[in-house]
Amino acid sequence: MERLRLKIPPVPDDSTISTTHYVLEAVEAIDIVAGVGGGSALMAIVAAAGAGEKILAAMHAAGIAAEGFLTVAGPLAAMAANFAMLGLGYAEARKEIARDRLASGISRGVVMAADGRKPNLVESYFWESAPETNVADEEAGKIAQNAYNLGLVTGYRQALELNRDQKATFWRDIGDLVGDTSYLGDSKDWDDRAWIDWYTMAAAKFREAHLE
């Protein structure tokens, strides 16, 4: 079980998260959505027909209690379990694309949930509604889209479990990693574009320091 809440210190102290050198393993973290983690489970979901709609349904339910969420996410869990058991092979290039885009989505889902944002705003800011461009492999573009969106849901559910003190510790660490942000001005004056840019930057720092 890969859980962010088990890695971040439960109460604030004088040190930052970066001094604990915690790492969240992206492909294992999907077990919070799919019931099972690992590269086979990831590929089984993101390469399956109809996965996009099921991942979107999970995003819509991402803010509800665990029992209700797991009911909605059940079809994703079924995909992961059934196809993982078959041991289907996938081109290594597609696996790398899926892992990369999953990590990107997780990082953005984490920072938005840690900031108390609702699933509909996550969807508005960061959801990919079309396959990513991949001239050499069109199917890989769909896999990338699904992996990224699955990452958004995964990251959101992971950070949703953090308590108030863990969120404070989390943001202190992100602040240390980002550095001086005075040039951005008062966040009270930010528009949607400014918030998207901020979350993108914070997510990149989280991914670089704490996600593999």
pLDDT in tens, 186-196: 999 999 999 99
What's residue 40's pLDDT? Answer: 83
Concatenated DSSP letters of 138-176: HHHHHHHHHHHHHHHHHHHHHHHT--HHHHHHHHHHHHH
Cβ burial 122-159 (10 Å sphere, 16+ → b, else e): bbebbbbeebbebeeeeebbbbbbbbbbbbbbbbbbbb
Cα separation of 94 and 10, whole Å? 37
What's residue 18's pLDDT? Answer: 47
The string of pLDDT tens digits covering residues 16-57 is: 444 557 899 999 999 999 988 888 889 889 988 899 999 999
Assign 100 a pLDDT band (cuts: 50, 70, 90): very high
- Nearest CA to 38 out of 5, 74, 87 is that of 87
Query: Do 122 and 152 contact (CB within 8 A), yes or no?
Result: yes
Amino acid (one-letter) located at 20:
T
Give the range among 2-6, 19-23, 48-52, 77-81 with minimum mean pLDDT.
19-23
Grouping H, G, I as helix, E, B as strand and the rest as coil, residue 113 is helix
The string of pLDDT tens digits covering residues 120-130 is: 999 999 999 99
